[in-house]
Structure formats: C-alpha cells, structure tokens
A and B are shown apart, each in its own frame.
Chain A
Amino acid sequence: MALVKREAIIEHGAAKDDPNKRDTRFPVVSIILGSLSLIGMMVSIWMIFLYAPMDAIQGNPQRIFYFHVPLAWLGMLGFVIVAIAGIGYLVKKDERWDWAARASAELGAFFITLALITGSIWGRTIWGTWWTWDARLTTTLILWFIYIGYLMLRSYMGRTSASARAGAVLAIIGVIDVPIIYESVNWWRALHPTAEVGVQGALPPSVVLTLMVSLTTFTLLYSFLMIQLYQLQRAQTLAQQLRASIE
C-alpha cells in the first residue's frame, strides 16, 4: 500500500497531472504537426528545385541556403528556449521546465550541427574552403560547443535538481552568444553574407517565398520533434523515480 502511495506521489510530482493523460494528450497535436511537416517538406523540395530560380552567380549550390538558413535559425531558437526554460525552472522549481530545456537542447544541437555542415559545404563551393574563421562561423561554432557542454553536463550530473540548476545557469550565460551570432555580420567585416530577407530588392520574391515556406516547415518539424522529446524526458524521469522507489 505504501508503495502504491509512493508511486502516486512520484507520478503527481513528476507530471503534476493525471498520468493516464500522458498518452492521450499529445497524439492529435503530434499527428497534425507531423503531417504538416511532411507536406511542407514536399512542397519545400518542389519549390527549392523547381520553383526558385537558379542564382546567376552562385549556380546550384545557392539552393543549399533554403535548408541552411532554417537549420541555423532553429539552432539559435533552440538555445533561446533552453535559456527561457532554465529561467522558468529557477523561478518555478517545476520539473516540466527542465524537461523542455533538455528536449530543446538535444534538438537545437542537432539543428546547429546540420547548419554547420550545410554551411561548410556551401562555403567549399563558393569560397573554395570548408572552413574559415569568419565571425559568423566562429560564433556559431561557439554555440555548438555550448550545446555540447550543456548536454555533457546534464548527462554527467544525471536527473537531479542540482543538474537542472547548473544547466539553467549555463544556458542563461550561453544564450548571450545568440544575439552575437545574429549581429556578427554587422559588427565585423565578414565573408558570410549579410541578412538579405526584408531588404528591398535584395532577393527576388520567389526566393523569399521559398525560404519562408522552408522556414515554416522546419519550425513545424522542430515543434513536432520538441513534443516527442519532451514526452521522452517525462517518461524517463518517471521511470527513474519509480525505479528508485523500489530499490
């Protein structure tokens, strides 16, 4: 009986709501987001290869831009979410904020890695080198190291409140790099192209439209994956707490 009570307390503490809702609350949202991401991906691919015009100077490799920009944008957004969730955890002491932070860190690290790889391939074709210590590239690489540091710290410290606090502090300090990445092309003379979206006449409307569709699609995919990772974090915490209760 005591164990049942303890389990109920753990589940209440972990989820702060009915655990039976765990498997029924998200599927509809997940299905909608997953389907929209899939449709968006197909539309994006069609637009990237058949609708958007080929760049007169860069040729075909310019099309990498339609995936590279959304990946980089979500890589940066991911860390902003980690920091916001970290602040949320420090203020509210609610584990759900920590699950969101962990989920966003995993996803953001994945997206920023792909942004660095696609950017490197584009750089090879346009600049003739895989890597250069340009301000935008260097600050993005720093963000990648911050992500890896965050994930290593969380993995090393386990699922404890000390780990959540340390992660939150690291995220709040690390997020300073995000506006630096964004402004790096304006602050320093750099090889990386400056922002062209929103600048009158910088890009043809078909290019801007293709980029926006791709950006929306990747944001939907990010949301879909974020829900899955959040659920995973929640289930892992519950499993760990239940295991601890019977040991």
Chain B
Amino acid sequence: MHQEAREARKYMQGFGYLVAAYAIVWIALFAFLAVLMLRISGVRTELTAVEQLVREQQEKQNI
C-alpha cells in the first residue's frame, strides 16, 4: 500500500511543471501561427489596395 502510494507520488512529482512547459509551448506556437496568418492576410490586403491605387493613377495619367 505504502509502496503504491510512493510510486504514485513519484509519478505525479513535477507533473504540473511538465504540463506548464508543454502548455506554454503549444499556446505560443498557436499564437505565433495566428499572428503570422493575420500579418500575411494584412499585407495581402495592403498589396491589393496599393495595386488598385497604382492602376487608378495610371488611368488618370492616360486621360
């Protein structure tokens, strides 16, 4: 009985730290991916808008 309890305690020792380490890595990875996707979509939107501006200026010059 004591042996089982000791083994269970040993198994659980530091388990919180292990979970914290993996949680931090996973949350950080997902946050990094999310921010990256937002940045990519933001710059694509900006590119489209600037290209549109360039086209408009070109049309004005042609007139």
Which residues of A line the B interface, CB within 8 A?
1-4, 7, 54, 58-61, 63-64, 67-68, 71, 110, 114, 117-118, 121-122, 124-125, 221, 225, 228-229, 231-232, 235-236, 238-239, 242-243, 245-246
Contact = CB atoms under 8 A, between A and B. Distances in A.
B24 interface: yes
Contact of B58 (A4, A67, A235): A4
A216 to B, nearest CB: 16
5 contacts: A121-B20, A121-B24, A225-B32, A242-B47, A242-B54
Nearest to A221: B29
A102 to B, nearest CB: 13
A235 B44 contact: yes
Given A228-B40, A242-B51, A122 B46 contact: no
The 9 lowest CB-CB distance pairs between A and B, nearest first, are: A61-B14, A125-B14, A242-B50, A121-B21, A235-B43, A3-B58, A64-B21, A60-B18, A125-B17
Contacts of B43: 232, 235-236, 239
Given A1-B62, A228-B36, A239 B21 contact: no
A118 B21 contact: yes
Interface of B: 10-15, 17-18, 20-22, 24-25, 28-29, 32-33, 36, 39-40, 43-44, 46-47, 50-51, 53-54, 57-58, 61-62
B24 A7 contact: no
B18 A64 contact: yes
A231 B37 CA distance: 11
B39 A232 contact: yes
B53 to A, nearest CB: 6
Contacts of A121: 17, 20-21, 24
A235 B40 contact: yes
A114 B28 contact: yes
Contacts of B25: 67, 71, 114, 118
Given A59-B11, A118-B24, A229-B36, A239 B61 contact: no
Contacts of B15: 60
A108 to B, nearest CB: 12
Contacts of A64: 17-18, 21-22
A2 B36 contact: no
A61 B22 CA distance: 11
